[in-house]
Structure 1
Amino acid sequence: MRRVTLALLGLALALVAPAGAASADDGPYAPLDRPGPALSVPQGTLDASLDCHGDPAAGPRPILLNPATSVTPVENYSWNWARVFAAEGRYYCLVTMPQHTFGDIQVAGEYVVNAIRTMHARTGRRIAILGHSQGGMNPRWALRFWPDTRAMVAEMIGMAPSNHGTKSIPTCIPGLTTCVPAVWQQLAGSAFVTALNSGAETFAGIDYTNVYTRLDEVVTPPASSGLTTGEGRIANVRVQDVCPLDPYEHILTGTISAATYAIVRDALDHDGPADPARIGRSACGLYMPGIDPVDIASYAPVLAALPRLVSTMLPSVSLGGAPLLRAEPPLRCYVYAAGC
C-alpha cells in the first residue's frame, strides 16, 4: 500500500452460446471454437459506451483503448495515448465500462466484444487493442469465449496486464471481507483467471505484446503479466530490459513511461509483437510523447480518479458504484463445456 501511495503522489507531481462437446485440452471449459453466446447487455448501452475519433477509412491500424480497473478511458488515456494517436491521424476508440471497471469482468468482456465488432465493421480492417492493467487482460476474455472476434484483431498489447491475476491483495478473504467484483476476479487462482487461461492463452493470427515492470506492486509477481501458451506470436517485455533505470511502477508504467511507449510503438510499427532488440537507449526518458508537463488542466481527469485508484487495494470500499461481495461472481454458463 505504501508503494501505491508513493506512486500516486509521484503521478501528481509528475503531472503538476450453443452447447458443444469439450476436448481433452479444454477440460471442463468451453471448446476454443464454440461460438460465443448472445450479448446480455442491451445493444444501445453497448453502443453508447464506445467513443471514436478520426477517419475510420484512413491512417494506421485502428486501435481500441481499454481502461484499467477504477478509471474511465478519459482518465486513463486522454492526456497521453489519445493525444499521440490523434496527432498521427489514427482512428481510435475508447470504451467505457460500467462502474468504473470495478464490476464483473464477464460483463466488461461483452463491452469489448461489441467494440471489436463495431470497429471492424466501420473500418473494414483488423484492429489493435491497447490496455492498461485489467484493460490489457479483459479483451482476452472476449477472444477466448467469442471466437468470431479473433479474425477482427491483429494486435493485443497489454501494459502491466493482470493476465494471471495478482497476489498483492491479501485483504480480500472469501466469506470474511467484502470487495468489488473485478478485484475478486483478479486475484491469482480465481475461478475467473483459471477460465480465462483455459485451453489457450493466445490465438493464431494475433500478435501479443505484454509490457511489465519489475517494480509492479499491483500485479504480482510482475512476470505473471506474460503469456506463454497458444498459437499467437508473443513477446513478454520487461521495461527495465529496454531502459534499465526506468523507475515506474504499475500505474505509471501504463500512463507516462517512455520505455513502455517505445515498446508499444515497436509493436504497432512492425509485423509481429514488439522486439526489444529494435529499441535503442535513446528511447529512454522521463515521460512518453503526448504528455505536456505544464498543461495542468489536461490532468484534471486522472487527478480526480486518485481516490478510486487508492480504493482498489482496500476491502469494504466501493467508490465506483460496484457492489461489495463476499466472494467472486459465479462464472457464466457459457464458460463451461456443458454450455447453457
Structure 2
Amino acid sequence: MVPKLPGHGFGRLDINSITNNNPDPGVVLYPKLSDEDAPYRVQEPHLRAAIFIPTSFQYGRDGRVPVLLVPGTGSMGGEAFESNFAKLLSTSTFGDPVWLNVPGRMCDDAAKNAEFAAYAINYISTICNAKIAVVGWSQGTLAVQWSLKYWPSTRTHASNFISLSGVFRGTIAARLLAPRNGIPCTPSIWQQKTNSNFTTALLSNGGDSAYVPTTSIYSSTDEVVQPQFGKRASALMHDERGVGVTNCEIQSVVGNKPAALMYTHFSMLNPLAWALTEDAIINGGPGRLDRIDMKCCLHTKPSGLTMIDVAKTKALSVKCARGIVTFSPKSRTAPELPQYCATEEKYHIPGNKSDLEQGPGSDTLAVGKGCPVRVKCSLSQGNRGNDLRKELRSVQGNT
C-alpha cells in the first residue's frame, strides 16, 4: 500500500516554491542511482526541494501516469504550466502532473539545471513505483535530453519524453543577448546559442537521438527558437536507437487549418500538441498522428483551456524576459562543461548534411544513422565559436 505523502496545493502562493518538503524516497538516489550516472554538483536537499507535488497527486494509485513538467528559461514550472498542461493533465483520466521549480528560473548553468530534471525523474518514478512521462518546454527539453544522456538510470524510469518547442541545436536568437564573449549575459543563454559548447556536447556520441520514445512538437513560426523548420529544425530528434520518435512541425502537418496559425514559442497552447501528448502518455510511446482525431486542428486551443488560460500563458513572455534580465550573476562567456563530459570526444552533425529516413516506430521523419558527415571538433577552452565554424566549413567543402 502506498502511504499518503505530503504535497502542496495548487494555490497561487506556492506553486513556484523551491523549498518543497518532499519525503525520503526510501531508495538511495544520491550521489548516484547507477554507477554509470554522472555525479551531481547540486546537493540533494536542493534537488528534492525543487520538485512541486500538488496535494491532488495520486502517486499512480488511480492508474494515471505521473507526468513531470520541466519549464523553460526565465520561468518556474508552476507559472509555466499552471494555465495549460498542468490544468489539462490534472483534469484528465490518464496523466497526473508534478513540476520542477529550478532555483534561478533556469537561467543558471544549463548543466546544473539538468541535474534537477535527472533527480526528479528518478525520484518521482521511485516514490510512485512506476515509470513516468516527462514533458519539457524550451530549455526544459535540453535539461531532459541531457539527463537521459548523462544519467542513464533515468532511461529505465521514463516511459516517454514529450518535447515542446525543443532547442536541442540551440537558437540563433540567443545571439541577440549574447553576441560575443565579454558581454555580460545570463549563463544558460550562452549555452543555448547555435553551436555552443553545451549543445555540441549534447548532440555528440548519440545525444542527438532519442533514449526513450520521444515526441517532438514545434512551430516554424517560433519567435524564440530558430531555425525551427525542415532538416535544420532545432527540435528535430533522431532515432538511431529505434526507440520510436515523432517529429511534428505543426505547420507542415496541419496545413491551413486554425491550429497552424502563427503559433509562437508557447506550443503548450496548440491543440495538436496536446492531442499528441495525450496519445503518447496513454500509449507509452511516441505520439502518432494516425491515432489522433485531426478535427482537433479545427480549433486554436485545446478544448479544456479558456481564453483566460491563453492570455496567462502568453503573459509568460514578460515573466521569462524579466527573469532573464534580472538574473545574477551574469557571465561574460559560456560556463565550462562539467568534468564528466568535458573530456569526451565531441561531434557535430551539420543539419544540411543529414539523411532523413523513416525511423523505426516513428510517425514522421526521424533522422537515423546514415549521416554522411560527422565532424570531429575540439571544445578545449581555446577552440570555440569561430574555430568550430571554420572547421565545419572546411570539412563540408571537402564532402
Letter in 2 for 1:224: S
Letter in 1 for 2:219: T
Instruction: Tell me how far apart the structure 2 counterparts of residues 295 and 130 of structure 1 sit (CA, whole Å).
Output: 19
TM-score, with normalisation over the residues of structure 2? 0.69
Instruction: Tell me how far apart the structure 1 counterparts of residues 236 and 160 of structure 2 sit (CA, whole Å).
Output: 15
CA change 1:125–1:217 in 2 (3 A) is same
Instruction: Tell me how far apart the structure 2 counterparts of residues 310 and 205 of structure 1 sit (CA, whole Å).
Output: 32
What fraction of aligned residue pairs are identical, expressed as a percent? 24
For the aligned residue pairs, the C-alpha RMSD in angstroms reads: 2.5
Partner of 2:164: 159
Contact 1:151 1:205 in 2 (8 A): no
Superposition map of 1:1-340 within 5 A:
35-53=36-54, 54-56=57-59, 57-88=61-92, 90-171=95-176, 172-201=178-207, 206-222=212-228, 223-231=233-241, 232-245=243-256, 246-253=260-267, 255-284=268-297, 285-294=299-308, 299=312, 303=315, 305-310=316-321, 318-319=325-326, 321-337=327-343
- Residue 311 of structure 1: how far off its partner (Å): 5.4
Letter in 2 for 1:81: F
CA change 1:228–1:47 in 2 (3 A) is same
Letter in 2 for 1:36: D
- Residue 144 of structure 1: how far off its partner (Å): 0.9
- Residue 146 of structure 1: how far off its partner (Å): 1.1
1:68 is paired with a residue whose SS is coil
- Residue 271 of structure 1: how far off its partner (Å): 4.3
Partner of 1:21: none
Letter in 2 for 1:215: T
TM-score, with normalisation over the residues of structure 1? 0.80
CA change 1:149–1:271 in 2 (3 A) is closer
Contact 1:52 1:91 in 2 (8 A): no
- Residue 230 of structure 1: how far off its partner (Å): 3.6
Unaligned 5+ segments in structure 1 are 1-32
Letter in 1 for 2:244: R
Contact 1:81 1:290 in 2 (8 A): no
Letter in 2 for 1:251: H
- Residue 295 of structure 1: how far off its partner (Å): 6.9
CA change 1:193–1:202 in 2 (3 A) is closer
- Residue 178 of structure 1: how far off its partner (Å): 2.1
1:138 is paired with a residue whose SS is helix
Contact 2:269 2:302 in 1 (8 A): yes
Instruction: Tell me how far apart the structure 2 counterparts of residues 168 and 295 of structure 1 sit (CA, whole Å).
Output: 27
Residue correspondences, number:
298
Q: Give 1 or 2 for the bigger CA radius of gyration.
A: 2
1:156 is paired with a residue whose SS is strand
- Residue 183 of structure 1: how far off its partner (Å): 0.7
- Residue 270 of structure 1: how far off its partner (Å): 2.4
CA change 1:244–1:295 in 2 (3 A) is closer
Contact 2:159 2:284 in 1 (8 A): no
- Per chain length, whose mean CA-contact separation is higher, i.e. which structure has more relative contact order (CA < 8 Å, sep 6+)? 1
- Residue 167 of structure 1: how far off its partner (Å): 1.4
Instruction: Tell me how far apart the structure 2 counterparts of residues 322 and 182 of structure 1 sit (CA, whole Å).
Output: 12
Instruction: Tell me how far apart the structure 2 counterparts of residues 63 and 194 of structure 1 sit (CA, whole Å).
Output: 28
Letter in 1 for 2:99: L
CA change 1:224–1:205 in 2 (3 A) is closer
- Residue 242 of structure 1: how far off its partner (Å): 3.5
Q: Deviations over 1:262-306 (max 9, x none)?
A: 22222222242122233333111121133222579x93x873x44
